[in-house]
Homo-oligomer: A and B are copies of this chain.
């Protein structure tokens, strides 16, 4: 059912190549950086709020999330971090993280020394702008999340969210054309979409009843993506920012 992952590239490289012209030299430079691998279990806090960030950290597999907590313990998931995402886009300038990063499933991380990364960035010309582009894409995704929370009802939020996750997983070859593994509980979806668990459940049932989706445990099928996109006003422009022709800096 699922296409085999493309083992030729790391998820980050796959993503960068999907959206941009990144030279093979740049990709090789990125993938050639010495790294340490770290495995994290579901529920574990990868980075705590206030923690010092001293490396560049990439997700190789699994799902994580940037989260914040309110005084009364409610959690808000600010963004999901999928294979190929960078946990630490601002590692070079920001000392302390102002949010938490939590593992939502088993996660494999690749940890690079900042000095190594810098050295490579100086050599691999297009890489710096490609990574900067990746950071800009995350910004755009978070902005779209604001719109989702501010201007859509529960059913639309969920539909829109599912389409985003599917698209992002597809890009890193971790989803099939019409289905994917969604390693989230309904409570986690609720924490992301500013809803209650109960209402997420009911809205999911609604989408199922309407023939938009089909769930079997963690496997979710999007039965008619154009129709679902129409239903929730999903437009992928925010994911596919165009990169500047001749990248500077």
Question: A121 contacts which chain B residues (CB < 8 A)?
Answer: 249
Interface residues of A in 137-166 (CB under 8 A from B): 139-140, 142-147, 149-152
CB <8 Å contact, B248 and A76: no
Q: Mark A91-116, 1 if CB is under 8 A from B, else 0.
A: 01111101100000000000000100
Contact partner, A94, options B136, B145, B147, B149, Cβ 8 Å: B136
Let me know if B129 and A66 touch, CB within 8 A: no
Q: How far is the CA of A32 from the CA of B140 in the complex (A)?
A: 31
A98 to chain B, nearest CB (A): 5
| Contact, CB under 8 Å: B92 / A249 | yes
Partner of A93, one of B74, B118, B129, B149: B129
| Residues on B with beta carbons closer than 8 Å to the beta carbon of A92 | 129, 132, 244, 247-249
Interface size class of A (residues with CB under 8 A): 35 or more
A interface: dominant SS: mixed
A71 interface residue (CB < 8 Å to B): yes
Copies in the complex: 2
Cβ of A10 to closest chain B Cβ, rounded Å = 21
Are A98's CB and B150's CB within 8 A?
no
Given A68-B143, A142-B143, A147-B78, verify A136-B93 contact (CB < 8 Å): yes
A233-249 to B contact mask, C-beta < 8 Å, 1/0? 10001100111110111
> Once the chains bind, are B242 and A146 in contact (CB under 8 Å)?
no
Residues of B within 8 Å of A132, CB to CB, are 90, 92-93
- Whether the pair A151, B98 counts as a contact (CB closer than 8 A) is no
Judge if A133 is at the interface, Cβ distance under 8 Å. yes
In the complex formed, the residue of B with least CB distance to A149 is B149
Asked if A70 is an interface residue, CB under 8 A from chain B, the answer is yes
Are A68 and B99 touching (Cβ within 8 A)?
no
A193 interfacial by beta-carbon distance below 8 Å: yes
User: For the complex, is A183 an interface residue (Cβ under 8 Å from B)?
Assistant: no
Across-interface contacts of A142 in B (CB, < 8 A): 139, 142-143, 146
Write 15 A-B pairs (CB below 8 A) sorted by A numbering.
A70-B233, A75-B151, A90-B132, A92-B244, A92-B248, A92-B249, A93-B244, A93-B249, A95-B241, A95-B243, A99-B143, A114-B248, A139-B142, A142-B142, A142-B146
Using a CB–CB distance below 8 Å, which chain A residues touch chain B?
Answer: 49-50, 66, 68, 70-72, 74-76, 78-79, 90, 92-96, 98-99, 114, 118, 121, 129, 132-133, 136, 139-140, 142-147, 149-152, 191-194, 233, 237-238, 241-245, 247-249
